[in-house]
Amino acid sequence: MPDFTVAATQRARVRVPLRFQDGYRVDAELVTFHGLTDGLEHVAVVLGDPTPGTTPLVRLHSECLTGDVFGSARCDCGPQLREAVERIAERGGVLLYLRQEGRGIGLYNKLDAYALQDQGLDTYAANAALGLPEDARDYTAAAQMLTALGIGELDLLSNNPDKADQLRALGIQVQGRVPTGVFATPDNVRYLRAKVLQTQHTLPLGELAGLNAG
CB 213 within 8 A of CB 187: yes
Alpha helices in 92-138 (DSSP H): 101-104, 107-117, 123-129
Q: Is 77 annotated as a binding residue?
A: yes
- Indicate which residue of 87, 91, 137, 193 is catalytic: 137
Which residues partner with 28 through β-bridges? 16, 47
Q: Is 74 annotated as a binding residue?
A: no
- Indicate which residue of 68, 76, 122, 135 is catalytic: 135
CB 85 within 8 A of CB 43: no
Q: Is 80 annotated as a binding residue?
A: yes
Q: Is 103 annotated as a binding residue?
A: yes
165 assigned to active site: no
User: Which of 66, 63, 60 minimizes the C-alpha distance to 188?
Assistant: 66
Q: Is 90 annotated as a binding residue?
A: no
Q: Is 72 annotated as a binding residue?
A: no
What gap in Å lies between CA 145 and CA 100, rounded to an integer? Answer: 15
Q: Is 157 annotated as a binding residue?
A: no
Q: Is 123 annotated as a binding residue?
A: yes
DSSP-derived 3-state class of residue 73: coil
Q: Indicate left, alpha or beta for 81 from its phi (over 0: left) and psi (-120 to 50: alpha).
A: alpha
Q: Is 102 annotated as a binding residue?
A: yes
135 assigned to active site: yes
What gap in Å lies between CA 119 and CA 67, rounded to an integer? Answer: 21
Catalytic residue set: 135, 137
Give the residue ranges of the annotated binding site for GTP. Answer: 59-63, 80, 101-103, 123, 158, 163
Which residue ranges make up the annotated binding site?
59-64, 75, 77, 80, 101-103, 123, 158, 163
